[in-house]
Amino acid sequence: MLSPRGQPKADVTKVRVGIRLSPEVIAHFKASGDSSQTRIDSALPQYIAKHPGGSH
């Protein structure tokens, strides 16, 4: 019997969305190398923590 390939399923999964960002934002995160989406994903919760209360 074959074992499953790839990484095991995460307990918390992410949601695929389409989002338009300014070229400056993309350039900033890509300048640090690979995994720019991961860095953007970690920056957004930090922003939310500093700006509670929803939309501004």
pLDDT in tens, 28-50: 999 988 899 999 999 999 999 99
Q: Check if the beta carbon of residue 29 is closer than 8 Å to that of residue 40.
A: yes
Residue 4 inside a domain? The answer is no
Query: Would you state the pLDDT for residue 55?
Result: 64
Backbone angles phi, psi at 38, to 5 degrees: -65, -40
Range of the domain at 42: 22-46
The model's pTM is 0.66
Q: How many domains does the chain have?
A: 1
Q: Check if the beta carbon of residue 36 is closer than 8 Å to that of residue 26.
A: yes
Backbone angles phi, psi at 32, to 5 degrees: -85, 0
Query: Would you state the pLDDT for residue 52?
Result: 87
Residue 38 inside a domain? The answer is yes
CB-count exposure of residue 29 (10 Å: 0-12, 13-18, 19+)? middle
Query: Would you state the pLDDT for residue 51?
Result: 93
Residue 13 inside a domain? The answer is no
pLDDT-based confidence at 24, cuts 50/70/90?
Answer: very high
